[in-house]
Amino acid sequence: MNRLKNTFTEFSTKKIIVIGDVMIDTYLNGSVQRISPEAPVPIVQFKSREHRLGGAANVALNLQSLGAQPFICTIVGKDEQADLLFKLLNENKLSTKGILKGDDRVTTVKTRVIGNNQQLLRVDNEDTTEINSLAEFALIEKVKEIVLKEGIDGIIFEDYNKGILTENVINSIIEFANLNNIVTTVDPKKLNFLTYKNVTLFKPNLKELREGLDRIIDSKEREDFQEAINQLKTIINPKYVFVTLSENGVYMNDADKHYYVPAHLRTIADVSGAGDTVISVATLCLVSGVSSEDIAKVSNIAGGLVCEKIGVVTVDKEKLMSEVLMLL
């Protein structure tokens, strides 16, 4: 117990780069009383508009809430949305030194229309074109600069397939990190799934694992599931494979050892953002020397905690520590 307490204290000494796709989550909230006479759609009586940091920026918020110092490395547009993004980052006291602006980029905004506490519609304003070679070079150099100036403990790749994490960016930064003994962790998506070779920890969910390997996988069929994990390890050679299994908990593979950790009984309100919390907690545990089994257990608890709240929220460090000490 004292070891785990010390681990949570140690989080505050860690510096982590989050590289990947940032976005703004905008919520238009209102009430629905009637259907439009123009089309069979609800009319939302507008009440409020809320902007939140999303994507890689939400991972940074989770790291910050756990006491660590995050640095976001990405490229956004030169547009009004970027101004709003920087305003939100400043309000949340997050560093902007790793964020570049590109003439040919669009700052991603996901707008959700909420009526009577239910999501009715989502409108995405984004550009998923891969960044060009000049932008790749600038981003890679920015990551290296921050590593050398700040003394970084870990790098998280937060991939939403929005064009920032190209094959060249991924390979270059993993190679640089490994040469400098920096932990690398990945929250992958389908497009670059098998590009992340030789990372420290690779964390897909079950859906991403199925899509990335293009095979039917049932986590309850242990032999078949293990074959899929072995296939993944053969291709990308990570030190750890960590798979989130939704209501079935999580799975951790560490060399020749593996663990299935069941989910704790909870009232689930919203699963949005749970993956951001899990990769943040897993990374901080990893750079703090926590065992693979305990990484899985602590991250599993953290993911469950944020699912009890509506919307994308960050994990509460004190509540997480309390639950970890109670359940483990």
Which tokens belong to 66?
A: 């756990």
Which residue type, as a one-letter code, is found at position 223?
Answer: E
Cβ 170 vs Cβ 303: under 8 Å: no
Dihedral, CA atoms, 300, 302, 305, 310, nearest 10 degrees? Answer: -110
- Give the count of beta carbons closer than 10 Å to the beta carbon of residue 216: 9
- Exactly one of 159, 276, 294, 316 is catalytic; which is it? 276
Residue found under tokens 């259907």: 35
Q: CA 191, CA 290: separation in Å to the nearest integer?
A: 31
Q: CA 318, CA 176: separation in Å to the nearest integer?
A: 34
Work out whether the CA dihedral 173, 177, 179, 180 comes out positive or negative: positive
- Annotation marks residue 270 as catalytic: no
Tell me which H or E stretch contains 168: helix 167-179
Q: Catalytic site residues?
A: 276
